Amino acid sequence: MAVKLEDLFAAIDARPFRPFRIELVSGTQVEVAHPENIYVLPTRQKVHNIQVYQDGTYANSLIWPEGMVGLLYPEPEGPAAG
């Protein structure tokens, strides 16, 4: 099942921002560490692809919206239960 663009936009616009990963149909996961690292091209009204830059490297990922199958959030850090 594809990710709805509205859900992706909500993740990007969340305040405070929570880092997340985009899971692709291939099983690859692309980390979005900061909202300034993800670009929707050419506009949110007409999405052709999504580009994600990786912090600390020159690497980037080019994603087609149809290839997104999940948005994953890391578990919050805190004291262990029990």
CB atoms within 10 A of CB 32: 23
5-72 CATH:
2.30.30.100
- pLDDT digit string, tens, across residues 13-63: 999 999 999 999 999 999 999 999 999 999 999 999 999 998 878 889 999
Question: Which tokens in the block code for residue 51?
Answer: 């580009």
Domain regions of the chain by residue span: 5-72
- pLDDT digit string, tens, across residues 53-73: 988 788 899 999 999 999 999
